Amino acid sequence: MAELDTSGGGGKGKKTRSKKMSTKVDLTAMVDLAFLLITFFMLTTTLSKPQAMDMFMPDKSEPEAELTVAASRTMTVLLASDNKIVWYMGIAGSTPPTVDNYGKSGIRASFLENNKKAIAFTGNPKKGLMVIIKPTDKSNYKNFVDILDEVKIAGVPSYGIVNDVLPAEINLLKDQGVYK
């Protein structure tokens, strides 16, 4: 609401001055409207939902079920300390291990290259690279999430998570200097 001040402007009997009209704006209604709009937009806005990756776990009714995969299309990734990754193709010790980092020029490039080789070997895009992820006790949760993201970004058709690291693989990590 707006008010007009119509009080006289003169002093005590001397000269009379012309009346000055002063305006005063009441902003109470405007503040109420602002809070209503803020509340409306807060309640109607959709917040970003957390994204989750689908993981398929093996059926517990078949404990002895095994998946046979050729060693030429199997890549084992060991998550080591200090955000380092050691990977090798096939069986441990049959190929030299590679120490890598996360990112576009690191493990992702290795996934893409080895997936192309595996698809060329099998001739079937659905039977590409099989990645076996083995987190060690020196790796952290962030490393595990990062490697799953890299697998997803690289488009690796199948992967598995194994929580028991072999003693030969621990020795391999120690030889590479990434198991501290």
- Interval 42-77: pLDDT, tens: 888 887 777 777 766 667 777 666 777 778 889 999
Q: How far is 100 from 98, CA to CA, in rounded Å?
A: 6
Q: What is the pLDDT of residue 13?
A: 58
- Give me the CATH topology for the region 71-176: Nucleotidyltransferase; domain 5 (3.30.420)
pLDDT band at 1 (very low <50, low <70, confident <90, very high): low
The average pLDDT across 110-139 equals 88
Pairwise pLDDT comparison (180 vs 35), residue with the higher score: 35
Question: What single DSSP character describes residue 72?
Answer: G
Mean pLDDT of the chain: 83
Q: Is the pLDDT of residue 148 over 70?
A: yes
Q: How far is 17 from 2, CA to CA, in rounded Å?
A: 24
Contact 122, 128 (CB under 8 A): yes
Q: What is the pLDDT of residue 2?
A: 59
Percent of the chain at pLDDT > 70 equals 86
pLDDT band at 147 (very low <50, low <70, confident <90, very high): very high
Predicted structure pTM score: 0.66
pLDDT band at 6 (very low <50, low <70, confident <90, very high): low
Q: How far is 65 from 46, CA to CA, in rounded Å?
A: 43
Q: How far is 138 from 84, CA to CA, in rounded Å?
A: 10
